[in-house]
Amino acid sequence: MVLGTYGGGNFGNDACFEATLEWLRAAFTNASILAVCADPVITSERFGIAAVSLRVSPSFLPRWLDTLLLRQPSLWLNWLVCLRALKRCDLLVVAGTGVIHDFRDRPWGWPSRFLRWMLAARLRGASVWFACVGAGPVINPVSRLMMVWAAKLAARRCYRDESSRAYMSAQGVDESQSLVTGDIAFLLPAPAPGDRGVGQAIVGVGVMNYRGWRTNEKVYRAYIESMAHLVEWLKFKGHEVRILIGQRPTDLIAVGDLEARLGYALMTDAERQVRSYQDILSVVDGTDVVVASRYHVQIAALKMRRPVLSISYGPMNDDLMRAAGLGEFIHDIEHMEHRALILQCDRLINMRVHYAKAVQTEIKALEAGLHERLRDFISPS
């Protein structure tokens, strides 16, 4: 069984699931795999496997009545769903994505659902593995307690970056035997990157519906304004801009607000139809340099061996950039300084051939190490 927030419109999460399926099918050739995900219909249709929902709502009474009854009907219904789904499960794998977090959530949301599935797995006698997961931050202390408890229920854990392992270690989880692997999406193949030459640059600009860890419209407005300044500068310098998104439909909302601020369209109707990580790889192939925030948009750029400037919203972005040899090109999404941003963007564009070669070397080594560490994770010495 593979658990994660797959099927919810986030291209990176679905890429992690696709990579996990390939990895598990190669490692356990006779295994039957069931997905526990955000949208089982979409996941089943796309990947051709059985799937159940992370959470179900009682259909026999309205939400207000469930709330009036202190959510007891939905609580016990979800426990029954978990225990039933796990009845014949030998192994529950939590794979990829930043699962240990409380981004725009409260304890009774994702943290409680996550812990319930871990507890149900152990009650059913299934082993739990965390493979290539991201962790932190978890701001709410109750959510943090739940997440730490869930992590301690796992028999094996490996993390996609050192920041995640360090975060969990700081929360009192023994990570002395845990590996740092890299993101599991790096297992997926990518088309051979095209040679873009050295003329005027085509810059991929990732737009994200970012409103802070806790929704803050002021943060969002400042982000849109900064992105507008960046696009205006790129256009002024004669560079072509291609917009990249990593989640539907939310990132298209941000694109619409950015277009309204600029007064012209940035995406064609065809470009707005991107629906997957593979689509993003194709768009990135038509660029020379990428400026982005979403973690898996950055991974798509690195898979295509493109230099990246990160508008970072967490340690995961920073670790990824340092692993790719691009540690100097990191900007905090909530504290962007426009002049510094454009100066570094200009440097990256002008030296894109140099940095593309560095990315090629570092990402090739990262991918080789990922394969090796996942083998060690399955068969520890």
pLDDT tens digits, one per residue of 14-45: 999 999 999 999 999 999 999 999 999 999 99
Q: Looking at the predicted structure, is the pLDDT value of residue 3 above 80?
A: yes
pLDDT tens digits, one per residue of 209-237: 999 988 899 999 999 999 999 999 999 99
pLDDT tens digits, one per residue of 222-280: 999 999 999 999 999 999 999 999 999 999 999 999 999 999 999 999 899 999 999 99
The token pair that represents 86 in the structure block: 């796990």
The token pair that represents 66 in the structure block: 């469930």
Q: Output the pLDDT for position 359.
A: 97
Report the alpha-carbon angle 266-208-94, nearest 5.
140
Report the alpha-carbon angle 348-306-366, nearest 5.
115
Mean model confidence pLDDT for the chain: 94
Q: What mean pLDDT do residues 295-306 have?
A: 97
CB 321 within 8 A of CB 362: no
Helices 295-303 and 277-285: crossing angle in degrees, nearest 10, is 50
The token pair that represents 94 in the structure block: 């939590």
pLDDT tens digits, one per residue of 153-188: 999 999 999 999 999 999 999 999 999 999 999 999
The contacts found for 103-106 with CB under 8 angstroms, 24 or more apart, are: 103/213, 104/211, 104/213, 104/214, 104/215, 105/143, 106/140, 106/143
Within 8 A by CB and 6+ apart from 146, the residues are 107, 111, 112, 114, 115
Rounded CA separation 307/355 (Å)? 6
CB 15 within 8 A of CB 277: yes
Q: Output the pLDDT for position 196.
A: 62
Q: Output the pLDDT for position 63.
A: 77
pLDDT band at 71 (very low <50, low <70, confident <90, very high): confident
Q: Output the pLDDT for position 381.
A: 63
Q: Output the pLDDT for position 193.
A: 76
> Domains of the chain by range and CATH?
2-54+86-187 (3.40.50), 202-363 (3.40.50.2000)
CB 113 within 8 A of CB 55: yes
The token pair that represents 360 in the structure block: 């090629």
Rounded CA separation 357/359 (Å)? 5
